Structure 1
Amino acid sequence: MIENMLVWNVRGFGTSKRRTRSSVRKFKVLVFAILEHFQSVDKLQRWACTLDMPCVFSNADMDGKIWLCWKQGIDMEAVGHNNQCISVLFTDQSGSILTSIVYAKCSYLERRALWDHLCGVSAVGIPWVVIGDFNVIRSNEERVGGNSRLRMAMDEFNCCIHSCGLIEWRLEGKQLSWCNGRQGLARSWAKLDRILVNNFGGAVGRLLNRRTSDHSPIVLQLSSINNRYGSSPFRFQNMWTLHLGFLTLVENTWKSSRIQGNGLEILVGKHKKLKLVLRSWNKEVFGHVDNHILKLEGKVELLEEYLQQNFSYEVDADLTMARNDLELWAHREEIRLAQQAKKGWLEEGDQNSKFFHAVIIQRRNQACVKQMRLPDGSTLDSPEMVHEGATVYFEQFMTNDVEVEEPMLEDIIQPVLSLQDIEGLTSLPMEQEAYGGTKSYDVEVDQWRNRFTAPGEEPYKTLPGDVFVLADAKPEDVSDLQRIGR
């Protein structure tokens, strides 16, 4: 995969040659895109050769202002282009990446052709990065100063991003890439340059300082390293609850587990046993959900082709069942992706899956500890080194006797109990203290007639919750007694 890429709206390449040369060398750029260069094709070709990037491509044939150059050893396949965008597929020894370089028009009406182009290029199967000057912001929070932007233009841009299954890659450092260069209160900033991605591993994007142009250069550093390390943790899948046998499996596993120990140890042991059973059951019943969906889609297609030639009630019934199964598995996959992405607010549709895939990959990359700097200044540069460093640290921490100075809290927390009170609370109670200085009685209650029932039918017996009052006086008759709380 292409490692380093530089995209810059130079606003006239003549004053930015020195800055371009130093940036290409500093960041070891393999692909360089120039926007709004105001130079002839011959001059750009000669300049590209001085950067050791003899391979070039542009949209000048469509009155565009994008010039793309890259180093030898990288294969390029043109996917499509217009006067606002160039989409190409770069391939090297480490893989392929679909790249769309954008230089959008200022008019939102003209930008609609750009949105249509991106929606036609969109793909989920391979990594895709869309980078450049979009000449539009996503919300008014992405500007400082100036007038409010047209709401329709922002809505159309956001709709294009969601339709393509793209997410915005957050830039390190500053976020506002454009400044109008005016003085005082007339100065304004906006985020016109950005990076949109759909599906690839770790990446770092940053804006360089503005000097000779009103736009900041964008540097995108990609990584083809697989950041997943160690065993994957167990996660409960919400789609399991849609299976008819799920609750029965959980109940049987829970009841059949025989764990020795106290209550908490039994609970932990049953959970561990259930986790192992659910892992195995998930592989047997669900497996790879996307594979099930592909098989069902192929089955539905074959049955439809057969019905188009020879109608049969049996085949029609099979087609109905296959469609129902396909809908069920598609719903399960949607639940799984939404749970992984922790997004549940989108409307149903095919573009949902594109968005979920992109969010999942971004969360996975951000959750990975790729690098760790130690107090002595050394750096751990891989997940394996981070793992080993953490293991060594905690082994030393748990085995070495470290004296910790306890804080003095006497001046902050005033004592409430005296030492005598504390000793009294921790000692065993005396018999007199247990009964509070009173006597205990063994009470025996005889049977008697319940006045709420027919005479002679049922003798009254004590029930849980009955309250009995011991008194010095003896009641004369039953009416002197009242049932309390019944």
Structure 2
Amino acid sequence: MSIISWNCRGLGNPNAVLNLKFLIRKYKPDILILYETLVHSNKTEELRYVLGFDSCFTVDREGRGGGLAVFWHKQSNCSISNFSQNHIDMEVVDARRGTWRLTGFYGYPGGSRRRDSWNFLRHLSHVSNIPWCIIGDFNDILSSDEKKGRVDRPNWLINGFRDAVLDSGLIDIHMEGYQFTWFKSLGTDRAVEEKLDRAMSSEEWCQSFRDARLECLTVTSSDHYPLWLVRDPVRIYPRSDRKFMFENAWLVDSEFDSIVRSCWQNTGVDGVVQKLDMCAATMSQWSKDNFQNLRREIDKCHKRLERAREIIFPSSKR
């Protein structure tokens, strides 16, 4: 099982949806949790269909801000148990390891409400005693090393969050690769980066899923990077029941129209469904023969983004 958690900063942005489509296609998460969706449930239900998930649950935005959403496939065996404007709680049934708890968390963004976030985290820790994993945008850091640029965050804020994490019995899950999940003004002398997004778990969850892996991904439509949590790394690779997926890139190819027309007219079958199946098979093979490099180029672009964020930050601390 794998989970993607992302502060997308608004699903009304077409680029955010494009980024989500890429993330779903490449990483194939079983569960997707979004924060600051800035939309209502009708929009997330449309997105559920577009992204190919079986179910979704939405906490509508309040005013102009906020909004949470979680999407999942039915084989995840999960159900919503509790929610608020700042979290969504789920129970996940595992046939081998028993039921565990997954929480998507969104900390209050305002500096005046830091203590509210910490106390809410403590409250959530007492809701259930089953193995627990919590992931999301906490809007806090655990140490001064989790911030680069500008003025250092006051020690009382760091210590306050750290105490809340300890009081909640949580262990920070090590994040591989790039360590900063939020940025502002990159490429300027005002640049700043912080590790505001993270995943943590109870000791029981850690013992059950010793090989769990956390990674910070890249996108281009938000000032937060998505988190990718893989519970069982050996199980993350592509499913065998891959469905036909239409690629918009096909439409700009001069051969596409004639190939579809020829296939439709010369399939040798009469039923519409059978014709569609034959066309889908033909287009898939044509894409494999002619568009293999497209995915590679997209992957290369993302790798260049990952390399760029390693060097774009000014070397001196501001």
- Report the TM-score when normalising by structure 1: 0.43
Check if 1:44 corresponds to 2:44. Answer: yes
| Distance in structure 2 (CA, Å) of the matches to 1:28 and 1:5 | 9
Give 1:96's aligned residue: 99
SS state of the match for residue 73, structure 1?
Answer: helix
Task: Write the distance in 2 (CA, Å) between the matches of 1:186 and 1:20.
Answer: 29
What does 1:106-145 correspond to in 2, within 5 Å? Answer: 106-122=109-125, 125-145=129-149
Deviation at 1:78, TM superposition (A): 3.4
2:212 aligned with 1:203, yes or no?
yes
Aligned twin of 2:9: 11
- In the alignment, is the contact (CA less than 8 A) between 2:39 and 2:61 conserved in 1? no
For residues 247-271 of structure 1, give each alpha carbon's deviation from its aligned partner in whole angstroms, at most 9, with x where no partner exists.
xxxxxxxxxxxxxxxxxxxxxxxxx
Deviation string, structure 1 residues 380-439 (Cα, Å, up to 9, x no partner) = xxxxxxxxxxxxxxxxxxxxxxxxxxxxxxxxxxxxxxxxxxxxxxxxxxxxxxxxxxxx
Whole-angstrom distance in 2 between the partners of 1:35 and 1:88: 15
User: 1:109 deviation in Å?
Assistant: 3.8
Is 1:188 the counterpart of 2:188? The answer is no
Q: Report if aligned partners of 2:99, 2:130 keep a CA contact under 8 Å in 1.
A: yes
SS in 2 for 1:136: coil
Inter-partner Cα distance in structure 1 for 2:77 and 2:125: 20
- Following superposition, the deviation at residue 79 of structure 1 comes to 3.6
Structure 1 residues 115 and 39, CA, compared in 2 at 3 Å: closer, same or farther?
same
Offset of residue 133 of structure 1: 0.8
Residues 341-365 of structure 1: CA deviation (Å, up to 9, x unaligned): xxxxxxxxxxxxxxxxxxxxxxxxx
Alignment pair present for 1:219 and 2:228: yes
The question of whether the paired residues in 1 share the 8 Å contact of 2:35 and 2:67 is answered with yes
How do 1:305-454 residues align onto structure 2 when only pairs under 5 Å count?
Answer: none
- Partners of 1:45 and 1:54 within 8 A in 2: no
Map of 2:86 onto structure 1: 84
Contact 2:2-2:229 within 8 A present in 1 as well: yes
Counterparts of 2:233 and 2:177, CA distance in 1: 23
Letter in 1 for 2:10: G
Higher strand share: 2
Distance 1:169 1:71 in 2: 24
**Matches of 1:62 and 1:81, distance apart in 2:** 14
User: Is this contact kept in 2: 1:105–1:111, CA < 8 A?
Assistant: yes
SS at match of 1:16: helix
Q: 1:108–1:153: 8 Å Cα contact kept in structure 2? A: no
Report the Cα distance in structure 2 between the residues aligned to 1:51 and 1:210, rounded to whole angstroms: 17
Equivalent pairs counted in the alignment come to 223
Distance of 1:114 and 1:106 partners within structure 2: 9
The alignment partner of 1:29 has SS state of coil
Q: What is the deviation of 1:224?
A: 9.1
Secondary structure of the corresponding residue to residue 32 of structure 1: strand
Report SS of the residue matched to 1:184.
coil
Structure 2's unaligned 5+ residue stretches are: 235-318
Distance in structure 2 (CA, Å) of the matches to 1:140 and 1:218: 21
Deviation (angstroms), 1:106: 2.0
Distance across 2 between alignment mates of 1:179 and 1:213 = 9
Name the structure 2 match of 1:32.
32
1:315-356 per-position Cα deviation (integer Å, ceiling 9, x unaligned): xxxxxxxxxxxxxxxxxxxxxxxxxxxxxxxxxxxxxxxxxx
Q: Rate the CA distance shift 1:108–1:156 in 2: closer, same or farther, 3 A.
A: farther
- Partners of 2:180 and 2:61 lie apart in 1 by 32
Matched residue type, 1:208: L
Cα–Cα, structure 1 residues 177 and 38, in superposed 2: closer, same or farther, change >3 Å?
same
- Provide closer, same or farther for how the CA distance between residues 59 and 115 of structure 1 changes in structure 2, counting only shifts above 3 A: farther
Q: Percent identity?
A: 24
How many angstroms apart in 2 are the aligned matches of 1:113 and 1:62?
A: 18
Larger Rg: 1
Q: What's 2:57 paired with?
A: 57
Normalising to structure 2: TM-score of the pair? 0.64
Tell me what 1:259 maps to. Answer: none
Report if the CA contact (8 A) 2:44-2:58 is conserved. Answer: no
| Unaligned residue ranges in structure 1 (runs of 5+) | 226-486
Cα pair distance change 1:205/1:118, threshold 3 Å:
same
2:19–2:219 contact (8 Å) kept in structure 1: no
Matched, 1:167 2:176: no
Contact 1:62 / 1:82 at 8 angstroms: preserved in 2?
Answer: no
Aligned counterparts of 2:18 and 2:59: Cα–Cα separation in 1:
24
Q: CA deviation at 1:92?
A: 4.4
8 Å contact kept, 1:181–1:214: no
Structure 2 partner of 1:406: none
C-alpha contact (below 8 Å) 1:85/1:114 kept by paired residues: no
Please report how far the alpha carbon of residue 137 of structure 1 lies from its aligned counterpart in structure 2 after TM superposition.
1.1
- Which amino acid letter does the alignment assign opposite residue 156 of structure 1? G
Question: Matches of 1:187 and 1:224 in 2, distance apart?
Answer: 34
CA distance in 2, matches of 1:61, 1:210: 23
Q: Counterparts of 1:61 and 1:181 in 2: how far apart (Å)? A: 27
Q: Output the CA distance in 2 between the equivalents of 1:87 and 1:40.
A: 19
1 or 2 for the larger relative contact order (CA 8 Å, sep ≥6)? Answer: 2
CA distance in 2, matches of 1:38, 1:92: 32
Q: CA RMSD in A?
A: 2.3
Alignment of 1:170-319 (within 5 A): 170-198=174-202, 199=205, 200-201=208-209, 202-223=211-232
Paired letter, 1:223: D
The partner residue of 1:67 within 66, 69, 74 is 69
Residue 80 of structure 1: how far off its partner (Å): 2.9
Q: CA deviation at 1:148?
A: 1.6
